[in-house]
Amino acid sequence: MLNFDFYNPTHIIFGKDRLDEVGKNTPAGARVLVTYGRGSAKKSGLIDKVKTSLGNRQVFEFGGIEPNPRYETLMKAVEIVRAEKIDFLLAVGGGSVIDGTKFIALAALYEKDPRDLLKFGLATVPLDVAGKALPIGTVLTLPATGSEMNCGAVISHEHGKYPVLNVMTYPKFSILDPALTFTLPRIQVANGVVDAFVHTTEQYITYPADGRVQDRFAEGILRTLIEIGKTTVEEAENYDARANHEWAATLALNGLIGAGVPQDWATHMIGHELTAMFGIDHGQTLAAVLPAMLDIRRDKKRAKLLQYAERVWDIKSGSEDEKIDQAIAKTREFFESLGIKTRLSEYGVKADKIPAVIEQLKAHGMTKLSETGDLTPDISKKILEKAM
Amino acid sequence: MLNFDFYNPTHIIFGKDRLDEVGKNTPAGARVLVTYGRGSAKKSGLIDKVKTSLGNRQVFEFGGIEPNPRYETLMKAVEIVRAEKIDFLLAVGGGSVIDGTKFIALAALYEKDPRDLLKFGLATVPLDVAGKALPIGTVLTLPATGSEMNCGAVISHEHGKYPVLNVMTYPKFSILDPALTFTLPRIQVANGVVDAFVHTTEQYITYPADGRVQDRFAEGILRTLIEIGKTTVEEAENYDARANHEWAATLALNGLIGAGVPQDWATHMIGHELTAMFGIDHGQTLAAVLPAMLDIRRDKKRAKLLQYAERVWDIKSGSEDEKIDQAIAKTREFFESLGIKTRLSEYGVKADKIPAVIEQLKAHGMTKLSETGDLTPDISKKILEKAM
């Protein structure tokens, strides 16, 4: 097992009818900015319910945080925070709203150019660069990214997507009521299953490090997502399926399953470029890149791919490569069973665009990806070709 | 899935050569009381190393915290804390030292009779009773109880063992270096495996609640303990086995696997009386009570027992009762493979003492045990008879 630190102070408030606990978990007398997306939380009445729970606190609103939240949008919220002396942020939405709110929390207290915060990649923004952030609470409406229980965000700026990690941005609390997801569009639910699935494989299908509990936990999340995936997509008001989807998605990226084991994240980094260039949903990019990644990297990831085949998909017969082929095929079938296509060509991406994607990867410094840093642009190119 | 809250702010510092991080994680200028057990941490030089890491802080020592830490012992430390204006406690040891230190942390700031804190059983001591505690750090030397990453303690007083839970007593940090366990007596390592195993079964072998990830995680901890149990006992310096043992034991009782599912704890409550009356090690009492508990409660726990048989022990054939019999037999064999006896008679307990144990359970209010509160003293009696 590798050495690790694990720290996660977010208070999770999970279950039916928990929304009215927003009030008692928000500091008395706080000046609160409620942040949300492009309207569904507002239209459904959820924002009003949250404001009711906040009682007589001074509450401001900032709506319009888009999927893949943009720097320019978030800086408008920063202006409100500064003008209105906001001291608590309450994000109501999915991963994009929560990610965006984390950036607002950091940028509002950052005295230099907040674009500085985009420069640290998957490394934590050092505390001597940004050592304070406004406190955040969240009300989750979309199980997918895990942002409700981690200190990471992904921010879009110009033609790039930039990870921003900082320990000050763990939410103080997150309300996870699976019933709040009942009105989601089907595609978002399906994307959420894929996102949680690939968060898990990024921390699991690497090389063996004798992290036995970590491996079992990762396999448990994957098996759960496989068990409930189709149901949670097709039965919008199936509470049990949504509850298992939501808790699995949170645990897939709260630091736990990656503690003490290698982590890859190349599928995400390549996927980010595809979203930035072609506007393909994040989950869809992952569904297209992962099967290709596993295929091209089968020798490097062989031991864990065989473990994945056996323990997650119950594949017990065949040669090693046959088992790996079957596991990749099962993965692809699973994504497709949710209604998520797994070929870039099906999203309208033409093969002649691949060199431009590679140039963007290089421009963003993504030239040494993977759990060992050996995934060069040449290999990324092969993966993209395989993903067509 | 049941509604739940999950909150655990302990910073885990896990791995090789992490001991010198005690200093940087302890507040500068703190007046520190280092607490430890009956001598091995002192003799081995570990206490001196910890003091070196603490640098020029004012450091005091309190040794002699016994297994099943006693109220009277801990109150001596409380006197030192008050006299020397201690503001940080550093526990160096196993679960008993850490549990005892949590009690010191609460009692030192409690203005009435600290025996009040023993009266809340498995419910949390309310914050309006005890809302503050001294901050604690820990250096773990024995993987077993999970105390390094939870807010619970078990304190012995007169003829009883009393759980004390309070959210203020989560350690601020815990150093988990598996190499610090290399000098442990074999019996303590074996007890530690059993303890972690039964912590897990208390939160898993109950009734189905569709907590799919929780079940998978519990099964992952159990399978890991089964895989590494014999090795971690027999190969004192096998780092990988000890690392997996240690992290599994921490995760077995940090609130995670029990969040959103029913919990039993009857095996522990009965075991506590056996330790208090006969001085049998905690792990040994669990090894004797659990197989009997599962046998007597097989109808109530049937669905989860069958899941346990299939997913943890790979038992796939036979009638339901045959599968359950096999699973119980495998559990017993596993404990015995570690050198832990599983019959009370082997610990010198005679059957004619059972009525006295039942009287103690009654005296401590343990008359409605289990995940549904239906485990009466009459059933406890049958379990103890079966455990002979």
Distance, CA of A68 to CA of B271 (rounded, Å): 54
Banded pLDDT at B246 (limits 50, 70, 90)? very high
Instruction: Give me the mean pLDDT over the A276-292 stretch.
Output: 97
User: Is B217's CB within 8 Å of A217's CB?
Assistant: yes
Q: Is A63 on the interface with B (CB under 8 A)?
A: no
- Most B CBs within 10 A among A2, A4, A5, A6, hence the mutation to make, goes to A6
Residue tagged 């895989």 (tokens): B227
Q: Is B314 on the interface with A (CB under 8 A)?
A: no
Instruction: Give me the mean pLDDT over the A337-365 stretch.
Output: 97
- Most B CBs within 10 A among A180, A210, A216, A316, hence the mutation to make, goes to A216
CA distance B194 to chain A (A): 16
Q: Is A15 on the interface with B (CB under 8 A)?
A: yes
Query: How confident is the prediction for chain B on average, in pLDDT?
Result: 97
DSSP code, position A118: G
**What element of type H or E holds B163?**
strand B160-165
- Residue of B215, B227, B243 lying closest to A1 (CB–CB): B243
Contacts of B22 (CB under 8 A, 6+ apart): B50, B53, B54, B90, B137, B139, B175
Q: What are the chain B neighbours of A216 within 8 Å (beta carbons)?
A: 216-217, 219-221, 223-224
The ipTM of this complex is 0.97
pLDDT > 90 in chain B, percent: 97
Distance, CA of B204 to CA of B192 (rounded, Å): 18
User: Is A3's CB within 8 Å of B9's CB?
Assistant: no
Q: Is A20 on the interface with B (CB under 8 A)?
A: no
- Residue B39's pLDDT is 82
Work out whether strand A31-35 and strand A58-62 pair parallel, antiparallel, or are unpaired: parallel
User: Is B259's CB within 8 Å of A14's CB?
Assistant: yes
CA distance A199 to chain B (A): 15
Residue tagged 């409700």 (tokens): A148
Identity (one letter) of the amino acid at A303? Answer: A
pLDDT tens column, A181-227: 999 999 999 999 999 999 999 999 999 999 999 999 999 999 999 99
Banded pLDDT at A39 (limits 50, 70, 90)? confident
**Residue B143 burial (10 A CB sphere; 0-12, 13-18, 19+):** buried
User: Is A6's CB within 8 Å of B12's CB?
Assistant: yes
User: Is A12's CB within 8 Å of B7's CB?
Assistant: yes
- For A56, A79, A307, B245, B347, the CA distances from B327, given in Å and listed in that order, are 57, 62, 25, 22, 23
Q: Is A212 on the interface with B (CB under 8 A)?
A: yes
- Residue of A3, A220, A227 lying closest to B14 (CB–CB): A3
- Residue A159's pLDDT is 84
Distance, CA of B168 to CA of B313 (rounded, Å): 38
Q: What is the pTM of this model?
A: 0.97
pLDDT tens column, B320-364: 999 999 999 999 999 999 999 999 999 999 999 999 999 999 999
Is the pLDDT at B159 greater than 90? The verdict is no
CA distance A163 to chain B (A): 23
Contacts across the A-B interface (CB distance below 8 Å): 128
- Residue of A2, A7, A220 lying closest to B220 (CB–CB): A220
- Residue A25's pLDDT is 98
Distance, CA of A127 to CA of B32 (rounded, Å): 26
Is the pLDDT at A161 greater than 90? The verdict is no
- Most A CBs within 10 A among B213, B253, B311, hence the mutation to make, goes to B213
User: Is B243's CB within 8 Å of A5's CB?
Assistant: no
Instruction: Give me the mean pLDDT over the A134-155 stretch.
Output: 97
Is the pLDDT at B161 greater than 90? The verdict is no
Is the pLDDT at A95 greater than 90? The verdict is yes
User: Is A6's CB within 8 Å of B6's CB?
Assistant: no
- Residue A191's pLDDT is 97
Q: Which of B348, B286, B295, B10 is nearest to B161 (CA)?
A: B286
Banded pLDDT at B121 (limits 50, 70, 90)? confident
Chain B, 254 to 273: residues with Cβ < 8 Å from chain A are 256, 259-260
User: Is B1's CB within 8 Å of A244's CB?
Assistant: yes
pLDDT > 70 in chain A, percent: 100
Instruction: Give me the mean pLDDT over the B54-77 stretch.
Output: 97
Is the pLDDT at A73 greater than 90? The verdict is yes
Instruction: Give me the mean pLDDT over the B193-212 stretch.
Output: 98
- Residue in chain B closest to A15 (alpha carbons) equals B3
Q: Indicate the domain borders of chain B.
A: 11-180, 186-386
- Most A CBs within 10 A among B3, B174, B212, hence the mutation to make, goes to B212
Cα dihedral: B31, B142, B151, B307 (round 10)? 170
Cβ atoms within 10 Å, residue A55 = 12
Work out whether strand B152-157 and strand B88-93 pair parallel, antiparallel, or are unpaired: unpaired
- Residue B330's pLDDT is 98
Question: Longest Cα pair distance anywhere in chain B, in angstroms?
Answer: 66
**What element of type H or E holds A140?**
strand A136-140
Residue tagged 């096999």 (tokens): B326
Q: Is B251 on the interface with A (CB under 8 A)?
A: yes
Q: Is B253 on the interface with A (CB under 8 A)?
A: no
CB–CB of A353/A341 below 8 Å? no
Banded pLDDT at B122 (limits 50, 70, 90)? confident
Is the pLDDT at A339 greater than 90? The verdict is yes
* Angle, vertex CA A369, rays to CA A368 and CA A371, nearest 5: 120
Q: What are the chain A neighbours of B6 within 8 Å (beta carbons)?
A: 11-12, 14
Q: Is B224 on the interface with A (CB under 8 A)?
A: yes
- Residue A290's pLDDT is 98
**Is 3.40.718.10 the CATH classification of the domain at B186-386?**
no
Lowest mean pLDDT across A104-113, A118-127, A147-156, A274-283? A118-127
Distance, CA of B222 to CA of B314 (rounded, Å): 12
Q: What are the chain B neighbours of A214 within 8 Å (beta carbons)?
A: 247
- Residue A103's pLDDT is 98
- Residue A277's pLDDT is 95
Distance, CA of B291 to CA of A204 (rounded, Å): 34
**What element of type H or E holds A35?**
strand A31-35
User: The domain B11-180 is classified under which CATH number: 3.10.50.40, 1.20.1600.10, 3.40.50.1970, 3.40.50.720?
Assistant: 3.40.50.1970
